[in-house]
Amino acid sequence: MQSSGNRSVPTQFLRTDDFQAKLAARISGKQMSRLFTIEIFSGTGGLTAAVSRMGLAQSIGIDAHVTKQVKSPIIRINLAEETGQTLLWRILQNDNIAAVHMGPPCGTSSRAREIKHKQQYNPPPLRSTAHPDGLPTLTGASLEKVRTANRLYLLCGQVMEWATANGIIASI
Protein backbone atom coordinates (compact mmCIF):
# COMPACT_ATOMS: atom_id res chain seq x y z
CA MET A 1 0.00 0.00 0.00
CA GLN A 2 1.20 3.46 -0.89
CA SER A 3 0.05 6.24 1.40
CA SER A 4 -1.31 9.49 0.01
CA GLY A 5 -2.04 11.78 2.95
CA ASN A 6 -4.70 10.01 5.00
CA ARG A 7 -5.59 7.68 2.14
CA SER A 8 -4.13 4.32 1.23
CA VAL A 9 -3.80 3.47 -2.42
CA PRO A 10 -3.23 -0.15 -3.48
CA THR A 11 0.02 -0.40 -5.40
CA GLN A 12 -0.77 -3.84 -6.75
CA PHE A 13 -4.05 -5.61 -7.31
CA LEU A 14 -4.87 -9.24 -6.67
CA ARG A 15 -4.94 -11.17 -9.92
CA THR A 16 -8.36 -12.48 -10.90
CA ASP A 17 -7.21 -16.09 -11.03
CA ASP A 18 -5.72 -15.78 -7.51
CA PHE A 19 -9.02 -14.45 -6.19
CA GLN A 20 -11.05 -17.14 -7.93
CA ALA A 21 -8.83 -19.85 -6.49
CA LYS A 22 -9.17 -18.40 -2.97
CA LEU A 23 -12.94 -18.06 -3.35
CA ALA A 24 -13.25 -21.62 -4.64
CA ALA A 25 -11.16 -22.94 -1.73
CA ARG A 26 -13.24 -20.93 0.74
CA ILE A 27 -16.63 -22.27 -0.39
CA SER A 28 -15.66 -25.69 -1.74
CA GLY A 29 -17.61 -28.53 -0.17
CA LYS A 30 -19.80 -26.23 1.93
CA GLN A 31 -23.56 -26.27 1.71
CA MET A 32 -24.99 -23.02 0.41
CA SER A 33 -27.24 -22.78 3.46
CA ARG A 34 -24.10 -22.59 5.66
CA LEU A 35 -22.59 -19.69 3.69
CA PHE A 36 -23.60 -16.12 4.39
CA THR A 37 -23.21 -12.49 3.43
CA ILE A 38 -22.52 -9.61 5.79
CA GLU A 39 -24.11 -6.29 4.86
CA ILE A 40 -22.21 -3.53 6.68
CA PHE A 41 -24.11 -0.22 7.15
CA SER A 42 -27.21 -2.23 6.28
CA GLY A 43 -29.99 0.22 7.11
CA THR A 44 -33.17 -1.87 6.97
CA GLY A 45 -31.27 -4.89 5.62
CA GLY A 46 -32.86 -5.05 2.18
CA LEU A 47 -29.83 -6.65 0.53
CA THR A 48 -29.44 -9.10 3.39
CA ALA A 49 -33.10 -10.13 3.04
CA ALA A 50 -32.70 -10.66 -0.72
CA VAL A 51 -29.52 -12.72 -0.33
CA SER A 52 -31.19 -14.80 2.38
CA ARG A 53 -34.11 -15.58 0.05
CA MET A 54 -31.58 -16.76 -2.56
CA GLY A 55 -30.20 -19.41 -0.21
CA LEU A 56 -27.63 -17.69 2.01
CA ALA A 57 -30.09 -17.84 4.89
CA GLN A 58 -27.50 -17.13 7.61
CA SER A 59 -26.80 -13.63 6.21
CA ILE A 60 -26.78 -10.69 8.60
CA GLY A 61 -26.70 -6.94 8.54
CA ILE A 62 -24.67 -4.63 10.74
CA ASP A 63 -25.67 -1.05 11.48
CA ALA A 64 -25.41 1.46 14.32
CA HIS A 65 -29.09 2.37 13.90
CA VAL A 66 -31.67 -0.40 13.91
CA THR A 67 -35.27 0.60 13.26
CA LYS A 68 -38.55 -1.29 13.51
CA GLN A 69 -38.69 -1.52 9.69
CA VAL A 70 -35.88 -4.08 9.36
CA LYS A 71 -36.26 -6.72 6.66
CA SER A 72 -33.64 -9.12 8.01
CA PRO A 73 -31.54 -9.78 11.13
CA ILE A 74 -29.43 -6.71 11.95
CA ILE A 75 -26.76 -6.59 14.63
CA ARG A 76 -26.44 -3.14 16.23
CA ILE A 77 -22.75 -2.22 16.19
CA ASN A 78 -21.39 1.33 16.15
CA LEU A 79 -18.49 1.04 13.71
CA ALA A 80 -17.41 4.61 14.43
CA GLU A 81 -16.08 3.31 17.75
CA GLU A 82 -12.96 1.19 18.15
CA THR A 83 -14.86 -1.47 20.11
CA GLY A 84 -17.36 -1.75 17.27
CA GLN A 85 -14.60 -2.18 14.70
CA THR A 86 -12.91 -4.81 16.86
CA LEU A 87 -16.17 -6.74 17.05
CA LEU A 88 -16.62 -6.47 13.26
CA TRP A 89 -13.14 -7.93 12.65
CA ARG A 90 -13.99 -10.83 14.98
CA ILE A 91 -17.21 -11.50 13.03
CA LEU A 92 -15.30 -11.36 9.73
CA GLN A 93 -13.07 -14.26 10.83
CA ASN A 94 -15.94 -16.72 10.23
CA ASP A 95 -14.95 -19.27 7.56
CA ASN A 96 -18.46 -19.34 6.06
CA ILE A 97 -18.55 -15.74 4.85
CA ALA A 98 -19.00 -15.71 1.08
CA ALA A 99 -19.52 -11.98 0.54
CA VAL A 100 -19.39 -8.60 2.24
CA HIS A 101 -21.23 -5.50 1.08
CA MET A 102 -20.69 -2.03 2.53
CA GLY A 103 -22.92 1.00 2.06
CA PRO A 104 -21.19 3.63 4.20
CA PRO A 105 -23.10 6.78 5.13
CA CYS A 106 -22.57 9.47 2.51
CA GLY A 107 -24.06 12.52 4.23
CA THR A 108 -20.76 14.35 4.58
CA SER A 109 -19.57 13.57 1.07
CA SER A 110 -22.76 13.97 -0.95
CA ARG A 111 -22.54 16.24 -4.00
CA ALA A 112 -26.10 17.32 -3.12
CA ARG A 113 -24.49 19.60 -0.53
CA GLU A 114 -23.17 21.68 -3.45
CA ILE A 115 -26.68 22.60 -4.61
CA LYS A 116 -27.72 26.10 -3.60
CA HIS A 117 -31.21 26.71 -2.24
CA LYS A 118 -32.28 30.37 -2.15
CA GLN A 119 -28.69 31.56 -2.74
CA GLN A 120 -27.19 29.45 0.05
CA TYR A 121 -26.05 25.90 0.64
CA ASN A 122 -28.32 23.94 2.93
CA PRO A 123 -26.74 21.86 4.31
CA PRO A 124 -23.33 23.39 3.55
CA PRO A 125 -20.58 21.44 1.77
CA LEU A 126 -18.11 19.74 4.11
CA ARG A 127 -15.66 18.51 1.45
CA SER A 128 -14.42 19.58 -1.95
CA THR A 129 -12.41 18.14 -4.79
CA ALA A 130 -9.36 19.94 -3.38
CA HIS A 131 -10.16 18.78 0.18
CA PRO A 132 -11.77 15.31 -0.04
CA ASP A 133 -10.96 14.56 3.61
CA GLY A 134 -12.81 17.69 4.76
CA LEU A 135 -12.60 21.44 4.30
CA PRO A 136 -9.83 23.00 6.41
CA THR A 137 -12.33 25.54 7.81
CA LEU A 138 -14.52 22.92 9.51
CA THR A 139 -15.15 23.22 13.24
CA GLY A 140 -17.45 21.78 15.85
CA ALA A 141 -20.11 19.26 14.88
CA SER A 142 -19.29 19.48 11.16
CA LEU A 143 -15.65 18.62 11.80
CA GLU A 144 -16.63 15.68 14.01
CA LYS A 145 -19.09 14.37 11.38
CA VAL A 146 -16.37 14.42 8.72
CA ARG A 147 -13.80 12.78 11.01
CA THR A 148 -16.28 10.02 11.87
CA ALA A 149 -17.15 9.48 8.21
CA ASN A 150 -13.45 9.35 7.32
CA ARG A 151 -12.91 6.61 9.93
CA LEU A 152 -15.78 4.63 8.40
CA TYR A 153 -14.46 5.11 4.85
CA LEU A 154 -11.02 3.93 5.97
CA LEU A 155 -12.65 0.87 7.54
CA CYS A 156 -14.43 0.13 4.24
CA GLY A 157 -11.11 0.22 2.40
CA GLN A 158 -9.52 -2.09 4.95
CA VAL A 159 -12.41 -4.56 4.80
CA MET A 160 -12.36 -4.49 0.98
CA GLU A 161 -8.62 -5.20 0.89
CA TRP A 162 -8.88 -7.95 3.51
CA ALA A 163 -11.91 -9.58 1.86
CA THR A 164 -10.40 -9.73 -1.62
CA ALA A 165 -7.14 -11.09 -0.20
CA ASN A 166 -9.12 -13.85 1.52
CA GLY A 167 -11.37 -14.93 -1.36
CA ILE A 168 -14.47 -13.12 -0.15
CA ILE A 169 -16.62 -11.28 -2.67
CA ALA A 170 -16.76 -7.63 -1.59
CA SER A 171 -18.52 -4.52 -2.80
CA ILE A 172 -18.99 -0.93 -1.71
**Distant-in-sequence, close-in-space partners of 11: CB < 8 Å, separation ≥ 6:** 1, 2
- Domain coordinates in residue numbering, the chain: 2-111+153-171
Mean of pLDDT over the chain: 90
Largest CA distance in the chain: 61
- Paired sense of beta strands 2-4 and 7-9, if any: antiparallel
Q: What pLDDT band is residue 12 in, cutting at 50, 70 and 90?
A: low
Instruction: Give residue-wise pLDDT tens across range 102-116.
Output: 999 988 988 888 787
Q: Please state the rounded mean pLDDT for residues 21-39.
A: 93
CB-count exposure of residue 90 (10 Å: 0-12, 13-18, 19+): exposed
CA–CA distance, 67 with 73 (Å, rounded to integer):
11
* CATH, domain range 2-111+153-171: 3.40.50
Instruction: Give residue-wise pLDDT tens across range 36-91.
Output: 999 999 999 999 999 999 999 999 999 999 999 999 999 999 999 999 999 999 99
